Amino acid sequence: MKPASIMDYRELARRRLPPMFFEYIDGGAYAEVTLRRNVEDLEAIALRQRVMRDMSVVDLSMESLGQTWAMPVGLAPVGMAGMYARRGETQASRAAAGAGVPFCLSTVGICSVEEVASAGTAPWFQLYMLKDRGYMRALLERAKAAGCPVLVFTVDLPVPGSRYRDVKSGFTGATGLSGAANTAWQGMTHPAWSWDVMLKGGPHTLGNVQGAIPDGRRVNDFLGWIARNFDRSVTWKDIEFVREVWDGPIVIKGILDPEDARAAVRAGAQGVVVSNHGGRQLDAVKSSITALPRIVDAVGSDLEVYMDGGVRSGLDVLKALALGAKACFLGRPWAYALGAGGEPMISRMLGVIRSEITTAMILTGCNDIRTAGKALLDG
């Protein structure tokens, strides 16, 4: 199948990946109410078609946090991307650089920040508040040394959400021989993935936390360490600890409430990502696009407001910008594309997004993405 839309990349990833990894990408928390809301609420927004506006020149470029973006899209942090394609984080980083957009590396990526930076472009670096503050400090120092320009600090994961699909697929809950047998069987029944990832894509560790457990050999060893180190006691005052080491821009990811957005401003953040973790944490909360306007009204003049969650097309990107977002970060779309065929598929997917944004701009009469506002919406 020749992919034409994000859902086509999803289908290709479903075919190629073992079920445990596809369901990990695709699923959400509990009954997946928020996962569906993210998509459906964006679909419900109507764009306002305009005609005869001289759209011979269309500019998608913008600037944010000292960087020029070729279009208002970045690649969000996605865990364990190196299990979807060989050294997946490095492939995604190269594709993002080729498209002129930022790539954000997850703390729980298979590839380390040093490996990704050595592939050509230093990524934005995503981090959680960890109980092991010493190791957290070391991670921040490594990110600085690698040249990472922005720290994305995720605050909506003091405890992992419950994801039923991961239990059913065997991604979580299966241990010992049963877990090993399930993994082996899923790999055997997906030989192209096994050749690319299991045979050619090692080591299969979490590169950023490998130093915390030197004897760790499997992904699950490191995921266990991460799970034990999520810190439920974290407060806004802990940003002071981060600032002791990190002197660059900080973007707070996981904001859904205006009061929390105001707290991020007081904590000295330079940006926030309006996000419900792609519907993977607390189910039954509002969609990101529904939360966005109130947060923009509360803090949009004080810092950069980005959004993720439910974005499946360039039209969705323009809708979010019309409601005040500076840019959108894509998570599942690039994970699907990576699982479908690696870096070339991500590059192609980003080209699709760019084309869709351009078309939507032309047909709404917006020739400069920096001027996108509520006038682009109908109703």
Query: Residues with catalytic annotation?
Result: 277
Handedness of CA 189, 171, 138, 329 (dihedral sign): positive
Q: How far apart are CA 79 and CA 30, in angstroms?
A: 19
Reference 105, options 69, 78, 139; nearest CA is: 78
Task: Provide the residue type at 64 as one letter.
Answer: S
Q: How far apart are CA 133 and CA 159, in angstroms?
A: 17
CB 13 within 8 A of CB 326: no
- Backbone φ and ψ of 62, nearest 5°: -155, 170
Structure tokens at 66: 């000292």
Q: Which residues, in sequence order, are CB contacts of 159 under 8 Å at separation 6+?
A: 230, 232
What CA–CA distances, in Å, run from 13 to 37, 167, 237, 373?
Answer: 22, 20, 41, 34
